[in-house]
A and B are shown apart, each in its own frame.
Chain A
Amino acid sequence: AQSVTQLGSHVSVSEGALVLLRCNYSSSVPPYLFWYVQYPNQGLQLLLKYTSAATLVKGINGFEAEFKKSETSFHLTKPSAHMSDAAEYFCAGGYQKVTFGTGTKLQVIP
């Protein structure tokens, strides 16, 4: 069965610091990977997606993710955290039948 694992349910960073949110996927997940962001009481907004065209994917709001097949990872990064980045982030993989990770809540400390 396909699975997506997010390491760390809560991550805290200082404003201006590097953001690193970790995501690993099982080898049975097709190479369609996504990161979504969810602000409180809102729906899911697509940050970026990987569809095999390039290993480094740039998304909105300064986020990017690198696909590493050898490590089955698709970690999300942002060089400098902003207060507005505080939200919950979800990694997901697959098509037709998409599997989500359990989410990582990002706290940004001023």
Chain B
Amino acid sequence: NAGVTQTPKFQVLKTGQSMTLQCAQDMNHEYMSWYRQDPGMGLRLIHYSVGAGITDQGEVPNGYNVSRSTTEDFPLRLLSAAPSQTSVYFCASSYLTGRSAYPDYGYTFGSGTRLTVV
């Protein structure tokens, strides 16, 4: 299993350009999420999805779009890049299984995309 694969690993954009960060998982996980990490602010949730065709906004969704046409893929689109979007972006996929009082839950991160907007 490859786990969660993010591409590209590094990207430099000019202000106003658009691009798509790719995220793919091969674990058949229902849930997928995008985070951005900035110094001193931890990871902040941008968008998340609870299944194919279902997405919702997180804490910092402005300037980003997502779609989930398949279980495996969850691309993040920057519509018009701004310097404030310079950050490290992480994609994650997760599962919740079991009907017992203590269902198992797992969360797997990709290796990140370092984006610089100039």
Question: How many angstroms between the C-alpha atoms of A68 and B50 in the bound complex?
Answer: 29
B45 touches A96 (CB 8 A): no
Residue among A49, A51, A98, A99 with max Cβ neighbours from chain B (10 Å) = A98
A96 touches B94 (CB 8 A): yes
B50 touches A44 (CB 8 A): no
Nearest Cβ in chain B — how far from A97, in angstroms?
6
Segment at the A interface, from B19-27, B63-71, B101-109: B101-109
Question: How many angstroms between the C-alpha atoms of A101 and B43 in the bound complex?
Answer: 7
Counting CB contacts under 8 A, is A39 at the interface?
no
Known A51-B104, A100-B43; contact A95-B109, beta-carbon cutoff 8 A: no
Question: How many angstroms between the C-alpha atoms of A71 and B96 in the bound complex?
Answer: 26
A97 — which chain B residues lie within 8 A by C-beta? 33, 45, 48, 56, 58
Q: Is the interface of B mostly helix, strand, loop or mixed?
A: strand
Question: How many angstroms between the C-alpha atoms of A53 and B56 in the bound complex?
Answer: 30
Nearest Cβ in chain B — how far from A22, in angstroms?
14
Bin the interface of chain B by size: 20 to 34
B104 — which chain A residues lie within 8 A by C-beta? 51
| Contact bitstring A89-110, B, C-beta under 8 A = 1, else 0 | 0101001111111110000000
B105 — which chain A residues lie within 8 A by C-beta? 32, 49, 51, 95
Counting CB contacts under 8 A, is B112 at the interface?
yes
Counting CB contacts under 8 A, is B44 at the interface?
yes
Question: How many angstroms between the C-alpha atoms of A99 and B109 in the bound complex?
Answer: 14
Which B82-118 residues have C-beta < 8 A from chain A? 90, 92, 94, 96, 101-107, 109-112
| Contact bitstring A24-37, B, C-beta under 8 A = 1, else 0 | 00000000101000
The 10 closest A-B pairs by CB, nearest first: A102-B42, A100-B43, A53-B102, A100-B42, A43-B111, A44-B109, A52-B102, A103-B42, A32-B105, A96-B31
Chain B residues packing against A (C-beta within 8 Å)? 31, 33, 35, 40-45, 48, 50, 56, 58, 90, 92, 94, 96, 101-107, 109-112
Q: List 15 A-B contacts (CB under 8 A).
A: A43-B109, A43-B112, A44-B43, A44-B109, A49-B105, A49-B107, A52-B102, A90-B42, A95-B96, A96-B94, A97-B33, A98-B92, A98-B107, A100-B35, A103-B40
